Structures are given as structure tokens and as C-alpha cells.
């Protein structure tokens, strides 16, 4: 299996193919390349050759991604009952599915414990009272305890989870909770922690610290309480969003992870989301209005924070490229690409040097495969975009474009 380059930049996408897809499926449009998802999985597998790898499906749950990753043999880490349902529907074996919800709603636990009776999925708990909640539902399946490692990392404070009290059982209380779980007859099979999202070169130290703490915790649980099948140290493997950023050295991350974990009689596991899909997706959007202002040129496009929320929510950088046929011949001007939503935050980039935009131009937004479509919304009564997967020389529709009727169809109130 080909592992491809360490990163696929926006400039490497075939402009003609993208223009053809936009013409056929309209914009805004998410385009996914399953082949790139496969390459990303192959690179992860090559680096983490002996480890358990799951895909954190929250990054992208569309069927081409789930089906592609299922076929590579990775497991599925799910943050909700809905994600479990979709992972199973995409063919993941129950035994490869992990349910890791935070503060699981009652409805979720009802569904998951029901499903666990037939599919041997792992249920991860992040609070002591979750044992009572599982007992009430006669859960006798596989259990994992999520620890709060007290160390966090991430590309933005809003995605650093490791030290936030919301997540996991405080490290020092895990051995007692593990003992209680075993006493109460639960099948304790694993421990889990996640530092945050976007481990980069600088954050590698935090990751290493988390893994070291988990290794120590696991050794103590194994010595005093119970054997363990696995210890999962979470996701967070970063990808370069900027053209001048280098990709992570995966082999170095894998070696650092193993070294920090040390000698533990349980399988080490990781569960990245972003890494599998970020550079396997682009968002296509059309310029509908161009407005020169004294400060910048505003290119008004048909995709906004309801299509891709990351820039508005985290100030995230996404590469933008003009796909106009003559883009290379045009002057480069500072451009603010703004969406159609009535919010100041609704800009995809500000003052970015871009090929002078014209009405009707197609723009591509890079690294949109992770947390793009997945976080889209209907704010301003904007229907969500379509998703198409590249297949052969063309595309295959994966998710149809919403219509306003899909939104109003949920309403039950009429005068």
C-alpha cells in the first residue's frame, strides 16, 4: 500500500478535477479523496506498527471515510451513540468500536448498553458515578476508565482536554475506581487518556508527559488491581495547516510515545482523528461578490462559518487557493474571504495575499477534511453543503446538499 507524501498541500490538488466537480455538484462543496485517507492510514500504520490504532470518527463520519478506514483495519473511537450507530452501519466490527463519550446522556447509555449486548464494544467511563449508571442498565461488557492526566496540549486552548476537569477521572483516583469496578464485577480491559488536539513539534513534550504518566498508572493498576488489555493515549497528532509548516516526523512521535510508555504488560493504543482526514479534503466555494475597500479586497463567497467553523471558532488558518484558470497571471492582492453569515467572525481568512478575485471564481480551502463538514450547522437557515468523494476521474456523491425543506421539515408548529 502506498503511503504517499507526508503532507498533501492544497497546491497538489488537481484544479481541473475540482472545477469539474464544482460544476457538477455546485458549491459550497466538500471534496474528499479516499485514496489520501488510505495513504494517511498507511503512514500511521508504518510508524505505529505494533500499536492498536483507532480512528476518532468525530473528525469526519461520512461514509467514504468510514468505509475506507474500516477496510484498513483500524478501530473506531466514538464520542456519541450516533457515532457508534454510524460506525457499525459502516461495517466496523463491534469489538473494534470504543464508546468514549463525555458526560453521556441517558439516551446514549441506553443505546450503547443495548448494542453492547450483541456487539462486544468497549465503553469508556470518565466519572466514578458512570459505574452506577452502567449497573442500572445491567451492563456486563468491556469497560475502560478514562483518566484525567493533568496535562493538556492542543492547537488552541479550546481543544486542550488533558487537564480540563470536564474530562476523565483524576489520575490519583483511577486505581481505587479500577478496584471498585473489578469488585463490582465489571470487565476492566483498559485505560484511556487524551491530551488534546493538534500535537505539534512544540507540544510533543506534553504528549510525552501524558504517555509517561499513563505508563506509570497502568503499571500500578496491573500490579495492584487487574490485568489490562490496552492503554490508549488518545489522538491529537497534528497536521501542518500552513504551507511553510513542516509535517510531524511520525516515526519520531511513535518512538517518543513508546519510550515514554515504558514497559507495560498491555497493548499501547492511539486514536487520531485529524491525521487520517485533514489533508484528504478540500472545501470549494464560489466568489459571488467582490468589494474593494481601502484596507482590503473583500471576496464574498458562498461558504461561511456554517460550512467551515474552524476559522471563526478557533481562529484557525486554512490555506486558500484560487482555481480560476488564469489565477497565476493575475496580480496578488490582500484579500479577506468572507461568508454569507451575519456575523463579524464569518471570515475564512483576512488580508491573505490571493490572486485578485473576480466574481464567479472558484476558491479551494485546504485541510478541510477534518472537523469541516462535521461541525457545519444551519445557522441563518443555511442548508449544509454536499460532500463528494473522488472516484476514478470524477466524483461520487456521498452526502447530498441540504434544502431549506430539510430544515423546516423538522418543525411541528404551524399557525
- Smallest distance from ligand LLP to CB 194, Å: 4
Provide DSSP, 115-128: HHTTS--EEEESST
Pick the stretch among 43-51, 242-250, 266-274, 358-366 that binds ligand LLP (CB under 6 A).
Answer: 266-274
Decide whether 80 or 285 has the Cβ nearer to ligand LLP.
80
Instruction: Decide: helix, strand or coil at residue 80.
Output: coil
Quick one: DSSP state of residue 178? H
Under a CB-based contact definition with an 8 Å cutoff, are residues 195 and 207 in contact?
Answer: yes
342 belongs to the catalytic site: yes
Site size for ligand LLP, by CB under 6 A?
20
- Smallest distance from ligand LLP to CB 358, Å: 31
Cα(13)–Cα(246) distance, integer angstroms: 18
The H-assigned helical ranges of 307-414 are 310-314, 404-408
308 in contact with ligand LLP (CB under 6 A): no
Task: Give the residue among 367, 279, 285, 373 at the shortest CA–CA distance from 322.
Answer: 285
Out of 235, 300, 339, 395, which residue is the one contacting ligand LLP (CB under 6 A)? 235
310 in contact with ligand LLP (CB under 6 A): yes
Decide whether 55 or 111 has the Cβ nearer to ligand LLP.
55
Going by DSSP bridges, is the β-strand pair 97-99/122-125 parallel, antiparallel, or unpaired?
parallel
Task: Give the residue among 259, 260, 270, 369 at the shortest CA–CA distance from 310.
Answer: 369
Residue 150-179 contact track with ligand LLP, rule CB under 6 A, x = bound: ---------x-x------------------
367 in contact with ligand LLP (CB under 6 A): no
Cα(44)–Cα(38) distance, integer angstroms: 10
Cα(199)–Cα(18) distance, integer angstroms: 30
318 in contact with ligand LLP (CB under 6 A): no
40 in contact with ligand LLP (CB under 6 A): no
Q: Which residues are catalytic?
A: 342
List of residues contacting ligand LLP (CB under 6 A) = 56, 59, 77, 100, 159, 161, 194, 197-198, 234-237, 271-275, 310, 371
Amino acid at each position: 500500500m502506498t503511503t504517499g507524501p507526508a503532507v498533501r498541500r492544497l497546491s497538489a490538488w488537481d484544479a481541473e478535477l475540482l472545477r469539474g466537480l464544482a460544476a457538477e455538484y455546485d458549491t459550497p462543496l466538500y471534496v474528499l479523496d479516499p485514496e489520501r485517507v488510505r495513504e494517511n492510514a498507511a503512514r500511521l500504520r508504518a510508524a505505529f506498527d505494533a500499536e492498536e490504532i483507532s480512528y476518532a470518527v468525530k473528525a469526519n463520519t461520512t461514509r467514504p471515510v468510514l468505509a475506507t478506514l474500516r477496510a484498513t483495519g483500524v478501530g473506531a473511537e466514538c464520542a456519541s451513540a450516533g457515532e457508534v450507530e454510524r460506525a457499525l452501519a459502516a461495517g466496523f466490527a463491534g469489538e473494534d468500536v470504543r464508546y468514549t463519550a463525555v458526560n453521556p446522556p441517558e439516551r446514549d447509555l441506553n443505546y450503547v448498553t443495548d448494542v453492547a449486548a450483541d456487539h462486544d464494544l468497549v465503553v469508556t467511563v470518565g466519572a466514578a458515578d458512570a459505574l452506577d449508571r452502567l449497573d442500572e442498565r445491567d451492563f456486563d461488557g468491556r469497560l475502560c476508565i478514562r483518566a484525567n492526566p493533568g496535562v493538556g496540549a492542543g492547537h488552541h486552548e479550546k481543544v486542550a482536554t488533558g487537564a480540563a476537569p470536564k474530562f476523565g477521572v483524576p489520575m490519583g483516583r483511577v486505581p481505587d475506581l479500577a478496584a471498585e469496578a473489578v469488585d463490582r464485577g465489571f470487565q476492566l480491559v483498559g485505560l484511556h487518556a487524551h491530551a488534546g488536539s493538534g500535537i505539534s513539534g512544540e507540544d510533543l513534550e506534553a504528549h510525552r508527559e501524558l504517555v509517561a504518566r499513563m505508563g506509570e498508572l497502568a503499571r500500578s493498576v496491573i500490579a495492584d488491581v487487574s490485568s489490562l488489555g490496552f492503554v490508549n493515549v488518545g489522538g491529537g497528532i497534528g497536521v501542518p495547516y500552513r504551507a511553510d509548516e513542516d509535517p510531524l516526523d511520525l516515526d519520531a512521535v511513535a518512538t517518543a510515545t513508546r519510550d515514554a510508555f515504558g514497559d507495560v504488560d498491555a497493548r499501547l493504543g492511539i486514536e487520531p482523528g485529524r491525521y487520517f482526514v485533514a489533508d484528504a479534503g478540500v472545501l470549494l466555494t464560489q466568489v459571488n461578490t467582490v468589494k474593494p475597500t481601502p484596507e482590503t479586497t473583500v471576496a464574498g463567497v458562498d461558504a461561511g462559518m456554517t460550512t467551515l467553523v474552524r476559522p471563526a471558532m478557533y481562529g484557525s488558518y486554512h490555506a486558500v487557493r484560487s482555481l480560476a484558470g488564469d489565477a497565476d497571471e493575475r496580480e496578488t492582492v490582500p484579500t479577506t474571504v468572507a461568508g454569507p453569515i451575519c456575523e463579524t467572525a464569518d471570515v475564512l481568512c483576512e488580508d491573505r495575499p490571493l490572486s485578485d478575485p473576480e466574481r464567479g471564481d472558484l476558491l479551494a480551502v485546504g485541510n478541510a477534511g477534518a472537523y469541516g463538514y462535521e461541525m457545519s450547522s444551519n445557522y441563518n437557515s443555511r442548508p449544509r453543503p454536499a460532500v463528494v468523494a473522488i472516484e476514478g476521474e470524477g466524483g461520487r456523491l456521498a452526502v447530498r446538499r441540504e434544502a431549506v425543506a430539510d430544515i423546516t421539515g423538522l418543525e411541528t408548529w404551524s399557525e
